[in-house]
């Protein structure tokens, strides 16, 4: 009797060898990215050191990398330095939280109501390009040298990053899927949970990542201009007395904070959108 093999189940899990090859490929790409990133950092620091020690630029205006990181070590041994980091990150976190709640809520409401979207279009396009630093005099007159003055600047800048992304995300809902949900009589809560949220979530995560970086920039800018305690004020004070080594040390700290924030929010984005094609596509490339 002839035995005929059954066809393979196309819906079954990948072969273990295939899965292992995919994992090795992902690990190799990750290792390559880390190696190239480390090589870029070493190259940058080497160029920085040579530019100062060989006199390519004025060493007084560009201290060497070794001097800068030596000063950074001294700063990090001072408790006041860490207090300033905490003050800056507190303003950043509060401002980003307010902007996220306000931008998400208003973006969803305006985006889901066509009349509101058309009625607010001109106002949004007028307010969005206004630079946040233009509000600094108003913030100082209103709150003086308090954290609330900095929050006005931070929230205004971060709000638009989230609001616009959510607005576009809600507007990107497929009309056929929306009409089908209405035809089946799905309640509004169900439509929001199963239709609006999956469509707008990738836009929201992009807006949140951009807003986090913008909020840090504006937190430091507000401290430099308004005079609130934090890294920004220490940077302005060091520049005012000509202590360029401390200036560059604080600049390095702000850059590291920005890098950490970006990496954290990218990880959150990838974990939240693990089901989305934009993330799954990266994993299989």
Distance CA 48, CA 62 (A): 9
End-to-end CA distance of the chain: 45
* Four-residue CA torsion sign, 97, 201, 262, 219: negative
C-beta separation of 71 from 56 below 8 A: no
CATH topology of domain 62-284: MetI-like fold (1.10.3720)
- The string of pLDDT tens digits covering residues 219-255 is 999 999 888 889 999 999 999 888 889 999 999 999 9
pLDDT at 152 over 50: yes
Find the mean pLDDT for residues 210-222: 93
Helices (H) and strands (E) in the chain, counts: 12, 0
What confidence tier does 6 reach under pLDDT thresholds 50, 70, 90? very low
Q: What's the Cα-to-Cα distance from 141 to each of 47, 135, 151, rounded to whole Å?
A: 45, 10, 14
The three-point CA angle 116-120-124 to 5° equals 140
C-beta separation of 159 from 218 below 8 A: no
Per DSSP, 196 falls in state I
Q: Where are the domains of the chain?
A: 62-284
Per DSSP, 2 falls in state P
Tokens matching residue 24? 């090795």
107-116, long-range: CB < 8 A, 24+ apart: 107/162, 107/163, 107/164, 107/165, 107/166, 107/167, 107/169, 107/170, 108/166, 108/170, 108/196, 108/200, 110/167, 111/166, 111/167, 111/168, 111/169, 111/170, 111/171, 111/200, 112/170, 112/196
Q: pTM (2 decimals)?
A: 0.80
pLDDT at 117 over 80: yes
Q: Is 64 helix (H, G, I), strand (E, B) or coil?
A: coil
The three-point CA angle 164-228-87 to 5° equals 75
- The string of pLDDT tens digits covering residues 181-204 is 666 666 666 666 667 677 788 888
Specify the range with the lowest mean pLDDT, choosing from 85-89, 182-186, 226-230, 272-276.
182-186
């Amino acid at each position: 009797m002839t035995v005929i093999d059954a066809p393979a189940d196309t819906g079954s899990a990948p072969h273990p060898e295939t899965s292992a090859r995919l994992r090795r490929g992902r690990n190799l790409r990750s290792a390559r990215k880390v190696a190239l990133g480390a090589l870029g950092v070493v190259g940058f620091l080497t160029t920085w050191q040579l530019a100062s020690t060989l006199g390519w630029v004025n060493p007084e205006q560009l201290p060497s990398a070794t001097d800068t990181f030596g000063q950074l070590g001294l700063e990090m041994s001072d408790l006041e330095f860490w207090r300033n980091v905490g003050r800056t990150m507190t303003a950043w976190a509060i401002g980003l939280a307010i902007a996220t709640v306000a931008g998400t809520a208003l973006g969803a409401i305006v985006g889901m109501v066509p009349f509101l979207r058309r009625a607010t279009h001109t106002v949004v396009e007028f307010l969005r390009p206004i630079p946040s630093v233009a509000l600094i005099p108003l913030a100082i007159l209103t709150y003086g040298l308090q954290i609330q003055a900095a929050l006005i600047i931070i929230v205004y800048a971060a709000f638009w990053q989230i609001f616009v992304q959510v607005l576009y995300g809600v507007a990107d809902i497929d009309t056929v899927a929306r009409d089908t949900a209405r035809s089946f009589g799905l309640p509004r809560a169900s439509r929001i949970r199963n239709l609006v949220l999956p469509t707008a979530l990738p836009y929201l995560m992009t807006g949140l990542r951009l807003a986090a970086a913008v909020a840090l920039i504006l937190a430091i800018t507000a401290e430099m201009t308004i005079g609130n305690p934090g890294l920004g004020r220490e940077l302005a004070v060091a520049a005012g007395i000509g202590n360029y080594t401390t200036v560059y040390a604080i600049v390095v700290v702000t850059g590291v904070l920005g890098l950490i924030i970006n990496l954290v929010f990218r990880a959150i984005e990838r974990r939240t959108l693990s089901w989305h094609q934009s993330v799954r596509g990266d994993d299989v490339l």
